[in-house]
Chain A
Amino acid sequence: MQSKECKPKKITALNLKSFIPVLVLVISFTSLSVRAQDFLAGGKVTGNFQLDAQVYKADSAIGAEEVEEKMLMNAFANLLYSNGNFNAGLRFETYLNPMLGFDPRYEGSGVPYWFGSWKNDQFDITVGNFYEQFGSGMVLRSYEERNLGYDNALKGARIKFSPTAGVTLKGLIGTQRFFWDQGPGIVRGLDGEIALNDLLDKAGKCKTRVTVGGSFVSKYQALEEIIVNDTSLLKLPANVAAWSARFNLSRGGFTLDGEFASKMNDPSNMNKFIYKNGHSLLLQASYSQKGFGVIASAKRTDNMSFKSNRNERGSVLDINYLPALTRQHTYSLAAMYPYATQANGEMALQGQVNYKIKKGSLLGGKYGTDIALNYARITSIENELPEGTETIVSGTEGYESSFLTFGDELYFQDFNIEIQHKFGSKFKLLVSYLNLNYNIAVIEGHPEDSIPVKASIFIADMTYKFDQKNALKVELQHLGTKQDEGDWLHFLAEYTIAPKWFFTVSDQYNYGNPDKDRRYHYPTVAAGYTAGSSRISLSYGKQREGILCVGGVCRPVPASNGFAVTITSSF
């Protein structure tokens, strides 16, 4: 799909050749039309559509730059066809031009995603573009976040094979989506998972469930030689292998799961071209019963960036996915300083407790009270440079790091508590407190001497129901910090008429900005209408980037200023 470079071509023998498969398909469909009639009789077409458009207003104050086109739009439509064991689908995407916050390389329109698949009880074969995840994704995950403009779909072929109940084998090969093109690397992967109970204990007598699995992934990118530090010539390996092993144990309310992943030397732009092997370990244990849940997780990551182009930086062409062990916040001020996994190295711990104070007790009241506590702490890995060096040297092993030692540098810490209570049938209240420690130099790449942000956040979220359909929700949020942009206040009022209408007014006020001339307001008004699975919403105002939850749905949005419309529909 090279939309830009596409020039009219003369029909040559070579071009004709590429038409042959299409011709064969068309002819076979025509000649089989009688059979096709039967085949198509039970077919179903479903799909969805989304359009986002915004008319931009320049606002130098908040950094909203002049947009030459005045209006920008992103839209896509998915169509799925299914008939018994056969499925096919495609997605049309158009970015005219890409909205702010999206990569400008998305400019244009086309069909970057299509597939055909066929399955029976044992086989599932897909050709075209597809998404896949092995285990927790630490060696392979292709996925999409349309509203963030992230898509690393594989294009090639995948076979899933289940020889007997409880055993799933997967094999795949493909290149990854790079905007309207494909990345240069070829990804080959194998994965196997065995649910021991389904295989050995078909009667289901054993109360302990055990699942084990393993993956092997290899990337090929043509051998390359580069010169670093003006002197040394580095040979960058063409084939890079990674593997992982995982398990999941559960019994009653207990679960224990883990995955260890390892990657062979993969000198890349992300790791300063060092030849060290990479690895990652994730361990999680949880217990829950009705009204009580607790989970503890730990993760170590060392040099695990894995891309199908060794020269790329940024969030493109990722072969693997390294989950961040922190809570994803939804209230806008709480989501102001979100953590992003540091693939080059991090040590992470997380714990969470959920508890429901029983209905009918003194603190529980008629409906009970929900309490959630969450704590996460992420630091650097311990990092020892070879003698005589002060920085990581390309073309070497880079550094040494002991497996279980936490590094000295704090990347992120988050303690948060949330209490929710319903006072009678008409009024409910949620209060929350967060204490954040955010290493802005590491996470956002600010200058190394930037002071980490320490922030305290209070949230109160109240909903009052006037009757069965009409309700008013009011959110008050405060973020206090002496660093970065200082203190913020957030106010939101939303009136809903279920199940169709919503009206919202909100404002964010950076009243504590250390620079008095930058104490801006970010006011917004919005309204929306929903009919079944179709929905239109309009908004006008200034928007900070973050996760936006308005009128009953959530999605991540970039910073903007002006008039915006979103239309979505499924059928």
Chain B
Amino acid sequence: MSFKYPVVMPKMSMTMETGELINFHVAVGDQVKSGDVLFEVMTDKIDMEVEAPADGVIESLVANPGDVVEIGKPVLIMLTETEVMAFDFGAEDEPVAAVEVIAAPAPAITTPVAPAAPVILNETVKAVPKARVEAANRGIDLRTVRATGPDRTITMADVNGAQLDPAIAKRQAANKALIAKGIEMTRGIAQASFTRSVNANFDHATFMAAWAKVLRNRPDLAAHEHIGVALIIESKYGSALPVFRDPDQLTIADLAALVASTTDAAKNGKVPVAMLSGATTTVFDLTTYSMSSATPLLFPNQVTSVTIGYESATTKIVSLTIDLNFCDFYDGALLLDALVASL
């Protein structure tokens, strides 16, 4: 069985809105391998070859050479055996975002943002002097603050509005100093990991619901409007990361059924496209390999990552990694404690 996969005009720069299709390197019916060049694109800044995201066959050519195509709009359609390879590390829902991530990985989030606030990354920032001082003290990136002052200047009210409660802010400032003193940076993100044993037996559904519930009490930990738990599932095609959106808001029975069917599908290399994006945290279950623990790695744009390890028939080990730009050791301990308690 094969899936239709539209290969779209990728977004190659912050300002890019359209790209010109220069030419195709493939024709309808061609068999292509992942990484083969499909077509060339020209923008005002860059010429780029767009590669096949997976093995497959060219089903149709949608655009014509010379066309100016909007980003996110299909250029050709592939038939693929596996859609799961087009992972999306936490960007938005449209396929365009997935392609964007492949073309240029999104920068790691390094600053706290108020919950559900839109992230604005201004190239240059106008701010009143005190706003700069305060932002520096509290570890706020002014590029993420919405300006409401005259001439789109960031006022003190804007900085205060973007801020978390003072206790958290204070800890973050202290934490920032600690980071500066040389905590090991992994993938450019200062992070810390915690591990605890749990005397409980639980399935993936229970675990994800519990974890989502814990995270829901800390909306300051990410700028997302939902909680998306990516569950790493190994298959012969590689790792799949189907994302379960707001799993704590489903009944356990419904969630368990969804997890079961998704796991089955993923093992066959099939995950619904809708479940490929929107991850805000990741869960990796090591018990199937009888591993006790591994350091959970943070994925781009995610603040937390969790592994479940095997200790004994009745005991599991839960490990948590946190992004220290968003929370500190104390937060991490509290999160893991809350998670373990709810299991």
Q: Do A and B bind each other?
A: no
